[in-house]
Structure 1
Amino acid sequence: MESAIDKHLKCPRALSRRVADDYQPPFPMYVARASEDLKQVVMGYFGIQYSGSDRKEKALAALRHVVADFAATDGPDHYDLTHHTDNQGYDNLIALGYWRDPSAYQRWLTSPAVAGWWASDDRLADGIGYFREIVAPRAEQFETLYAFTNAFPGVGAIMDSVSGEIEEHGYWGSMRDRFPISQTDWMRPNGDLKIVHGNPERGGRVVVLAHDNIALIRSGQDWREAEGDERKLYLEEIEPTLRAGMNFLRDNGRDVGCYSNRYVQSIDLDGNLLDESYDIGHWRSLDRLERWAESHPTHLRIFVTFFRVIGGLSKLRLYHEVSVFDAQHQFYEYVNCHPQTGMMRDAAMADG
């Protein structure tokens, strides 16, 4: 049994864990490991938003353009593609790229082809919306958790190895305890979201300024290999309960501290749905995410359902990754998206 926090990220604890030192978790879980040279990663969510089937092909063409740009020099080390319908009825496609090297991301972002396409006035006249939500946690600012040990999705795909069985899981507060920074920092938020360019009600380009310690969770389910009873168990018992909780956060997140919640399904480049889904949740703070997870009926139903059926799961792959960010390492831009999109919903217009 080993700690989720890797040896080179350990330091004397100023803040205690939520459990006793002799705690034994109820089942095995694992985390991704990175070599000491990994100091910071970049997670780039590049979105296309459209309304109406007549605009689907244009949206898919834009998604393919983003993916083609990913293949350029200094593009992401790993990416995946998703679709979801938001609570305003708009379809959204997202290409999510992960970089191990922030400087490579900056070179890619500022390359003439990438920068020119995003800055072009054509983006304002395409009849579809675009967004970029870019976050870059330092190595001590993110944690992972997997029920399997190979072919990691998400940020795990750009890590170097896997841990043995870890101690910090299976109890309330274990998510925080897996963060290296939790040894010395409460990760408290400061300030509020502010719109520093544009006006969501008028469309066009809008930029939202973030605050320190916004938390982002990607929590995933992959049932591609699940068959028979296990597949039925997931689709008929687990997934409906999960969807209800995710839709609650999508529609009522403001009340519990969730800025944006998207329950997405993986797709291929033609928009075909794959047997994999994940939640993308931006929260005001890790504390607000913890509070919902530990006490809100919508999450407790998910938790109880999972523990009731876990004995019947062998091929279903479950995981999550959670990050917090410095304000300066976040960028949120929306182009002709509806005002409820992403971080715009809860952002106030900056003074002046």
Structure 2
Amino acid sequence: MESAISSHLTCPRTLTRRVPDDYQPPFPMWVGRADESLQQVVMAYFGVQFRDDEQRPAALAAMREIVASFDLDDGPLHYDLTHHADNQGYENLMIVGYWKDIASHNRWLQRPAVADWWQSDERLSEGLGYFREIVAPRAEQFETLYAFQDRLPGVGAVMDGTSGEINEHGYWGSMRERFPISQTDWMQPSGELRVISGDPAAGGRVVVKGHDNIALIRSGQDWKDAESEERSLYLDEILPTLQQGMDFLRDNGDSLGCYSNRFVRNIDLDGNFLDLSYNIGHWSSLDKLERWAESHPTHLRIFTTFFRVAAGLSKLRLYHEVSVFDAHDQLYEYINCHPQTGMLRDAQPVEG
């Protein structure tokens, strides 16, 4: 059995694990593996926000324009498309792209076709909202976990392969202990979200500055190949519990340290729903995410259901990825978005 932490990222521990060295997990799980050349990844979430069906064609066209820009040199190695209905009555088309190194992402971001499109005054007058939430964890600042070994989604798609069965799962605290940095660092947050330009209440362009060790979780479900029994398991048992927990965080997350929570459904380029979904949650710290996971009834129900069925899964694919990042490796920009969007809700106003 392997450690979730790649051998080249292993170092002498100064922080102890929660389980003894001879711990045996209750069922097999795997992680993504990358070689030493992977130093930092980029996870870029681009959004198009709209209010009603009249705006849907324009929103889909804007989404397709963002996707087309991925074909430029240095575009992402992997991307997917999703839809999210927020609690303010708005719909959000979201495109997430993954890069294997920050330099190629920066070159892409600075290409005139990309930079000029985002900076154009036309974005302010189209009647749509736009946002980009871009984070770049270093190799030691993210972890993955998969109940399957092939066709890894998300950041796994830019990794080099999959591990053997790993040890660090199946107990509270195992998420943290899959982070290479957890061997020596508690990943404590510092500072707070701050609006550094613009005014969320007024619309227009708003930029929010993040702080060290914001945590981002993407937790996914893929039932497109599942046969009738597993589809029923997901749709009738797992999904209602999951939806309840995700809606709770969407509506009440501010009291728990959750800055933003979006339960999204994957779509194609025409906006048709696919049989895949995932949750995107930004948290003020990994510690706050852990506290909710370990103690809140909404997550305990999700966790208990997963434990009960995990060993028997065949075609139902469940996974997650969790990352933290330094303040300077984050960008949160919103254009004509409502003030409850993403990081806008909890960002402190610029000091006057």
Establish whether TM, by shorter chain, passes 0.5: yes
- Give the superposed CA RMSD: 0.7
* Residue-by-residue CA offset, 1:236-292 (whole Å, 9 max, x unaligned): 111000000000000000011100000000000000000000000000000000000
Q: What letter corresponds to residue 82 of structure 1 in structure 2?
A: T
Corresponding residue of 1:282: 282
The 5 A counterparts of 1:22-37 are 22-37=22-37
Q: What letter corresponds to residue 11 of structure 1 in structure 2?
A: C
Q: What letter corresponds to residue 271 of structure 2 in structure 1?
A: G
Identity %: 71
Instruction: Give me the whole-angstrom Cα distance separating, in 2, the residues matched to 1:148 and 1:305.
Output: 18
Instruction: Give me the whole-angstrom Cα distance separating, in 1, the residues matched to 2:155 and 2:298.
Output: 27
Instruction: Give me the whole-angstrom Cα distance separating, in 2, the residues matched to 1:238 and 1:178.
Output: 25
Instruction: Give me the whole-angstrom Cα distance separating, in 2, the residues matched to 1:165 and 1:310.
Output: 14
SS of aligned partner of 1:30: coil
Where structure 1 has 5 or more consecutive residues not aligned to the other structure, the ranges are: none
Instruction: Give me the whole-angstrom Cα distance separating, in 2, the residues matched to 1:141 and 1:84.
Output: 27
Instruction: Give me the whole-angstrom Cα distance separating, in 2, the residues matched to 1:106 and 1:309.
Output: 42
Corresponding residue of 1:96: 96
The 5 A counterparts of 1:257-276 are 257-276=257-276
Instruction: Give me the whole-angstrom Cα distance separating, in 1, the residues matched to 2:303 and 2:40.
Output: 31
Deviation at 1:312, TM superposition (A): 4.6
Does 1:146 pair with 2:162? no
Corresponding residue of 1:51: 51
Instruction: Give me the whole-angstrom Cα distance separating, in 2, the residues matched to 1:228 and 1:98.
Output: 32
Deviation at 1:303, TM superposition (A): 1.1
SS of aligned partner of 1:205: strand
* Residue-by-residue CA offset, 1:8-58 (whole Å, 9 max, x unaligned): 000000101111101000000000000101000001001000000000000
SS of aligned partner of 2:167: coil
Instruction: Give me the whole-angstrom Cα distance separating, in 2, the residues matched to 1:119 and 1:142.
Output: 31
Instruction: Give me the whole-angstrom Cα distance separating, in 2, the residues matched to 1:312 and 1:145.
Output: 17
Corresponding residue of 2:247: 247
Instruction: Give me the whole-angstrom Cα distance separating, in 1, the residues matched to 2:144 and 2:320.
Output: 6
Corresponding residue of 1:132: 132
Contact 2:131–2:334 (CA<8 Å) still a contact in 1? yes
Contact 1:83–1:267 (CA<8 Å) still a contact in 2? yes
Instruction: Give me the whole-angstrom Cα distance separating, in 2, the residues matched to 1:231 and 1:209.
Output: 41
Does 1:225 pair with 2:225? yes
Q: What letter corresponds to residue 104 of structure 1 in structure 2?
A: S
SS of aligned partner of 1:349: coil
Number of residue pairs the alignment of both structures matches: 352
Instruction: Give me the whole-angstrom Cα distance separating, in 1, the residues matched to 2:105 and 2:151.
Output: 23
Instruction: Give me the whole-angstrom Cα distance separating, in 1, the residues matched to 2:178 and 2:162.
Output: 14
Q: What letter corresponds to residue 107 of structure 2 in structure 1?
A: R
Corresponding residue of 2:183: 183
Contact 1:230–1:312 (CA<8 Å) still a contact in 2? no
Corresponding residue of 2:162: 162
Instruction: Give me the whole-angstrom Cα distance separating, in 2, the residues matched to 1:180 and 1:312.
Output: 29
Q: What letter corresponds to residue 10 of structure 2 in structure 1?
A: K
Instruction: Give me the whole-angstrom Cα distance separating, in 2, the residues matched to 1:279 and 1:222.
Output: 12
Moved more, 86-95 or 302-311: 302-311
Instruction: Give me the whole-angstrom Cα distance separating, in 2, the residues matched to 1:69 and 1:160.
Output: 25
Deviation at 1:306, TM superposition (A): 2.0
Corresponding residue of 1:319: 319
Instruction: Give me the whole-angstrom Cα distance separating, in 2, the residues matched to 1:201 and 1:209.
Output: 17
Contact 1:47–1:95 (CA<8 Å) still a contact in 2? yes
SS of aligned partner of 2:3: coil
Instruction: Give me the whole-angstrom Cα distance separating, in 2, the residues matched to 1:307 and 1:76.
Output: 34
Instruction: Provide TM-score, normalisation by structure 2.
Output: 0.99
Where structure 2 has 5 or more consecutive residues not aligned to the other structure, the ranges are: none
Give the 4+ runs in structure 1 shifted more than 6 A.
none
Deviation at 1:121, TM superposition (A): 0.2
SS of aligned partner of 2:232: helix
Contact 2:27–2:311 (CA<8 Å) still a contact in 1? no
Does 1:234 pair with 2:234? yes
Contact 2:214–2:325 (CA<8 Å) still a contact in 1? yes
Corresponding residue of 2:82: 82
Instruction: Give me the whole-angstrom Cα distance separating, in 2, the residues matched to 1:277 and 1:213.
Output: 26
Instruction: Give me the whole-angstrom Cα distance separating, in 2, the residues matched to 1:294 and 1:224.
Output: 29
Q: What letter corresponds to residue 139 of structure 1 in structure 2?
A: A
Instruction: Give me the whole-angstrom Cα distance separating, in 1, the residues matched to 2:34 and 2:229.
Output: 36
Instruction: Provide TM-score, normalisation by structure 1.
Output: 0.99
Instruction: Give me the whole-angstrom Cα distance separating, in 2, the residues matched to 1:315 and 1:128.
Output: 38
Taking a change above 3 Å as real, the CA distance of residues 310 and 161 of structure 1, as seen in their structure-2 partners, is closer
Instruction: Give me the whole-angstrom Cα distance separating, in 2, the residues matched to 1:95 and 1:22.
Output: 42
Corresponding residue of 1:301: 301
